[in-house]
Chains A and B, each alone.
Chain A
Amino acid sequence: MLTKRLVKFAIPFAVGALALTACSDDGDGGGGDGSTFKIAYQGPLSGDNVQLGVNMVNGVKLAIQEANESGDYDVEFELVEADDGGEPGKATAAAQSAIDAGVIAVVGPAFSGAAEVAAPNYAEAGIAALTPSATRPDLTEKGFATFLRGVPNDAEQGKAISDFFVSEGVTKAVVIDDTGDYAAGLADVAQSHLEEAGVEVVRESVPDDTVDHSGIARTVTESGAEAVAYTGYYAQAGPLAVKLKEAGYEGLALGGDGVKDPQFLSLAGDAAEGWYFSCPCRDLSTDEKGQDFIDRYTAEFDAEPGTYSPEAYDATQMIIEAVAELGDGADAKSVYEALAAGTHEGVAKTLSFTETGEYNGSGIYLYQATGGAITALGNVTDVVGG
């Protein structure tokens, strides 16, 4: 492909240009032959939760492709994939590969555990890490210099889960995490809010490599709880749902944003029916802008956008605009500063950040699996209030 060849030539050119920014005076004066900037996506592009990574990286790809094809910008953009498998253990290496590739900013890290490990690396390199999905609350409290969160955190989601259960009249609930950072954090918040509201909570931890869920399913049914919340990812939630159904569990079941994925439906089959999902992600099909995004995404990837596809798209677009604004002279530091202070009207929501890099806004949405599809029920506050 022509673009590919162009990019091949552009890389050394861009690297050279970046290295020489200090003494360059931008001699050729622009035109269609501007610099190429690399934007990394760090997240699970392999491993059990690869679907979430694919959702996001496709969002990034779409944003970059549209930017390059639009002709609106003097500069070109290129994607660098940094696969951390969603695992903290691989996060440093993934971050380093992105840093070594000379990226201008990063969309990610996608998962909270990996984000905690990789954020210091990006901070040291002065590269903005704008995560579309890492929702563990304390990530923005650790002073990572360049970390930005483009999504409401789990403190809010945990409360939403609790509010929902309470409004359904639940008196006893089982809260299950997968022992990972994100899941345990969300479960902690949900548990404390539930207990505050006078709901008895049985807390369980099922490691995310568990293959046999018959034990936990028995624990849930024997506990006599009316509701169960699983805060891990769909890869585990699928078989868990199946075993719960087999064990005869008939109460409420809810998964966090890591579960809200069509893959969950395919893994759990009939057992998925009736499951609720909480997610800091808005249903896009309710407005024109969102529907337009769905159409463009579907046309490109032959699949509907998944959880966090629009968030990743928005984050990428925000980076692209910041870079384009700064022009050829953009470097990682100036891009970070532009992002941290900026506001971006995205397809999912308006992105802006507080001083600590926290997403400036709110909104947790409730979904339900009905008839083999995930249906939006609306903002949790509306659902609970109504």
Chain B
Amino acid sequence: MSLLEVTDLRVSFPTADGIVQAVRGVSFAVERGRTLGIVGESGSGKTVLTQSLLGLTPGGQISGTAVFDGVNLVGLEPKSMQRIRGKDIAVIFQDPLTSLHPLYKVGWQITEMIRAHDKSVSKKQAMERAVELLGHVGIPRPRERVNDYPHQFSGGMRQRVMIAMAISLSPKLIVADEPTTALDATVQAQIIDLLLRLQRESNTALMMITHDLGVVADIADEVMVMYAGRAAEKASKRDIFYQPHHPYTKGLLESIPRSSAAAERLKPITGQPPSLIRLPSGCAFHPRCAYVMDRCLTDQPELVPVAEAGEHRSACWLPAAATGLSDDVEELRRRTVEMGRTDEAAKVAEKIAAAPESEGSVIA
């Protein structure tokens, strides 16, 4: 059984302007010792998704189930959730400064963390453990540095402290929400290296939420691409990068500048993500999709398998065979779209083709 099994999770926030449907029926599983990368842009719901699992979405209406180690996290009372959070599920945020208390020494914060979940540990033992942990995550002179305050650490070192705190209770699952986004490339490389090493050592499961496909390429085993609160595509890392099926995944990959095609023109995705209050009909991606067909305007595609072997799933009306980046596949896509497109969809497609470089109006 998977360590975490999420089924049809939905999160919405009633606001004065309407209901924000942040997460709209997402299912996935995280296995022990594996890394699931969740990729998405602003407003894709990836952050709300993970926060809702941890009971960190006040005011949100959550439905569905999220079974972690036999316990359903959805609707769990705050006390039990608190016990799980930190002990069994550890969280690493993008900005460690907001999660570390500025007025306490980091050693104290780690020992508190340890002792809050296990009172039998003495202060001295906990401090020893803190020193050991800081050393383990690569902080030089840990015995001295336990007595430093968070602001005395650099950004990368602070993230290491956060990681030390996260692994202090040997969690079964680490949720990392953009842990390297605020860091420079060389420091980011160090942190990713550290996370990979820790995971190998302890067989911890890792959920990595990021907007950076580069980070995913480095660290993930499986990848889920999110768009407008739903999973667009879910597959092994290699399938996502080399055999993408969903046009959004393909679009993301093509919009990254690559060294192999330095002089070529980038192919951005036109338009911008939709409002989560007034979502487009059918497939939420259709107003930006170059392969828009009639049924995309009316029917919402489910996440279905697109390959016989393995677990490659995509939520797109294109045929399962339209997987990959080769010219043949592109030809198949083109032919499919030609057949499946009449008036309405043709108009949408025209609009997309007419303004390839503009983001369109606010009122998309």
Partners in one complex: no
Instruction: Give A residues with C-beta under 8 Å from B.
Output: none
